[in-house]
Amino acid sequence: MASYDVIVIGGGPGGYVCAIRAAQLGLSTACVEGRETLGGTCLNVGCIPSKALLHSSHLYHEATHNFSKMGLSTEGVSIDWQTMLAYKDSTISANTAGIEFLFKKNKVDWIKGWGRIVGPGEVKVGDAVHGAGSIVIATGSDAASLPGITIDEKSVVTSTGALELESIPDRMTVIGAGVIGLELGSVYCRLGSKVNVLEYLDAITPGMDGEVAKVLKRLLGRQGLKFQLGVEVQSVTAEDGAQKVSYRSRKSGREQSCKADVVLVATGRRPYTVDLGLEDAGIATSPGGQIVTDEKLRTNVPGIYAIGDVVAGPMLAHKAEDEGMAVAENIAGRKGHVSHDIIPGVIYTHPEVAAVGRTEEQLKQDKRPYKVGKFPFLGNARAKSIFAADGFVKLLADAASDRILGCHIIGPSASDMIQEISVAMEFGAAAEDIALTCHAHPTYSEAVREAALACGDGAIHA
């Protein structure tokens, strides 16, 4: 029986990062992964392929909407769907091959197959049992469907099927106006599908700052996405060569239906722990199926840790990565730490949405006195010059101490700009610290500084 200091089960962003860090810290490490390639959901069927399609569909949209305004002739721009899919696949393989290389470089053994915990410090993969001083569960999540809906990944799809449709559908119905629904709904809307989004709640993107959610809905509506909020989907059935989606208004109870060629079910994800041996090992789980961990990501069974989507918190690749690194550090006897209050979230629509820290709604609930500094991209020269002046930056700071409590951006490159505030929050910075920092001109990030100025004596360009 081969024995390791650490066996990580799952080769997604949480698992592979944990394995690499553990090996870097001198621990003999193996990572168990049953997929053909490393990288988990994020690299194979999630973040990376969706970003490729968001990029190509955005360029198509720009070419057909904005190029001529800039003096670029766009006659004959067309979509070659198979090539677009091949481009998307090439971005996947470039990244998954990169992780294999990093495993070799850092001397992490990839044990190919599905792992099951069969005893204290024992992981079975196929017929072989491997010993481990510590086990890290990083098995991620899978799409949660709804009763009354059968997924075939062709006409009724999760995000996985939506990334490899045979053709661009004429009509797509998206169930759920969360991150996946809006990102993939945007892709197909830009490529010409008629997309309607059915959402259970009365607002899109639950948990997001209310003002941002409202503006995002308006801007996506302008791009062609149709929303029906406050409706509960009952069933999806095949009828006359199409999919009939039946739903009911939560307020009035009125039953309605619509038809689509493809239905995307984007109603959340659930922890993936199938056949992992949790029960036999005595590992505690929550009623929602999450593995219960303490602040050091230890399960109730000594020597077994869990990280990423399979434990509490937002299901985000970067949160899983941070937890992976922290656990590796702790196993190596260091002091690993994750700032769970400062995990940014991004929606890669156009414009992008990014947030970190508390929302206004949460601060009201906390009864914490706060001030708001807001700055619209309309006052930002760089954004205006590329027809991207929709949206704003909103900075929230403590009313008395000026300490930054949260930031919410809807606008160009929001995903990159939010990092400035994440770093500032890690250092306990005040809005004034951002306001007093020189920002290059012309950049979108000047809007962040202006929002910080607006927390004090006022923005300059508003």
Residue from 198, 306, 431, 451 binding ligand NAI (CB under 6 A): 198
Cα three-residue angle 384-414-417, rounded to 5 degrees:
100
- Are the CB atoms for 206 and 242 separated by under 8 Å? no
Residue of this chain nearest to ligand NAI (CB atom): 178
List the catalytic residues: 441
In the complex, the smallest distance separating the C-beta of residue 158 from ligand NAI, rounded to whole angstroms, is 8
Rounded Cα–Cα distance for residues 175 and 268 (Å):
10
389 touches ligand NAI (CB under 6 A): no
Convert residues 329-358 into a mask of x (bound to ligand NAI by CB under 6 A) and - (unbound).
-----------------xxx----------
Query: Could you tell me which stretch among 24-32, 266-274, 358-366, 439-447 binds ligand NAI (CB under 6 A)?
Result: 266-274
Query: Could you tell me which stretch among 199-207, 237-245, 287-295, 431-439 binds ligand NAI (CB under 6 A)?
Result: 199-207
425 touches ligand NAI (CB under 6 A): no
- Are the CB atoms for 409 and 388 separated by under 8 Å? no
Closest CA to 272 of 45, 7, 10: 10
Residue from 165, 215, 266, 448 binding ligand NAI (CB under 6 A): 266
Half-sphere exposure of 173 (CA within 13 A, CB side): 22
Q: Which is nearer to ligand NAI, 100 or 232 (CB)?
A: 232
Q: Which is nearer to ligand NAI, 55 or 439 (CB)?
A: 55
Rounded Cα–Cα distance for residues 9 and 281 (Å):
15
- Are the CB atoms for 353 and 410 separated by under 8 Å? yes
Amino acid at site 355: A
What is the four-CA torsion angle of 163, 168, 172, 178, rounded to 10 degrees?
A: 30
The kind and range of the H/E element at 435 are: helix 431-435
Q: Which is nearer to ligand NAI, 346 or 405 (CB)?
A: 346
245 touches ligand NAI (CB under 6 A): no
- Are the CB atoms for 362 and 209 separated by under 8 Å? no
Q: Which is nearer to ligand NAI, 118 or 144 (CB)?
A: 144
54 touches ligand NAI (CB under 6 A): no
Residue from 99, 179, 260, 320 binding ligand NAI (CB under 6 A): 179
322 touches ligand NAI (CB under 6 A): no
Query: Could you tell me which stretch among 195-203, 221-229, 271-279, 395-403 binds ligand NAI (CB under 6 A)?
Result: 195-203
Q: By three-state DSSP, how is residue 256 classified?
A: strand
- Are the CB atoms for 196 and 188 separated by under 8 Å? no
Sign of CA dihedral 283, 268, 37, 413: negative
In the complex, the smallest distance separating the C-beta of residue 232 from ligand NAI, rounded to whole angstroms, is 5
Convert residues 139-178 into a mask of x (bound to ligand NAI by CB under 6 A) and - (unbound).
-------x----------------------------xxxx
Q: Which is nearer to ligand NAI, 198 or 297 (CB)?
A: 198
- Are the CB atoms for 117 and 304 separated by under 8 Å? yes
Residue from 181, 308, 351, 373 binding ligand NAI (CB under 6 A): 181
Q: Which is nearer to ligand NAI, 129 or 229 (CB)?
A: 229
Convert residues 95-134 into a mask of x (bound to ligand NAI by CB under 6 A) and - (unbound).
----------------------------------------
Amino acid at site 15: G
Rounded Cα–Cα distance for residues 148 and 135 (Å):
38
Q: Collect all residues with Cβ–Cβ distance below 8 Å to 130 and sequence separation of at least 6.
A: 1, 2, 3, 4, 7, 30, 111, 122, 123, 124
- Number of helical (H) and strand (E) elements in the chain, helices listed first: 14, 22
Residue from 21, 61, 190, 269 binding ligand NAI (CB under 6 A): 269
Could you tell me the two tokens for 326? 């922290």
Interface with ligand NAI: number of residues (CB under 6 A): 26
Interface with ligand NAI by CB under 6 A: which residues?
146, 175-181, 183, 198-201, 206, 232-233, 266-269, 314-316, 346-348
